[in-house]
Amino acid sequence: MGARHPQETIAQLGADKIYFTLAARHLIRQGLAKSPGDAIRYMEENNSDVDAIIEQLIQSKQISVPVEEELEKVDEDTST
């Protein structure tokens, strides 16, 4: 299989160019690809859902925020 232009892969996956680039970067950081070209080939061969990769990226960057009940409990503990 020969190399394809990245625009063809973006069109095949129905992805936005910016999200495609972010997804490729995420695959490299996760160790699934070693270079941008490898990431493009990975997404092309696996017909990857770019939105799912972006969702994984967002989840990896999120931090857990305490729920209000936990905050109230902490406030009660510190006020006594």
- Distance (Å, rounded) from C-alpha 12 to C-alpha 26? 19
What tens digit of pLDDT does each residue of 35-71 get? 988 998 898 888 888 899 999 999 988 887 766 766 6
Q: Number of folded domains in the chain?
A: 1
Q: Give SS3 for 4.
A: coil
- Distance (Å, rounded) from C-alpha 70 to C-alpha 57? 27
- Distance (Å, rounded) from C-alpha 62 to C-alpha 44? 27
pLDDT at 64: 78
Q: pLDDT band at residue 34, thresholds of 50, 70 and 90?
A: very high
Chain Cα centroid distance, residue 48: 12
Q: Could you tell me which residue, 77 or 9, shows the higher pLDDT?
A: 9
- Is 35 inside a domain boundary? yes
Q: Is the pTM of this model over 0.75?
A: no
Q: Which domain holds residue 70?
A: 6-79
- Is 1 inside a domain boundary? no
- Is 61 inside a domain boundary? yes
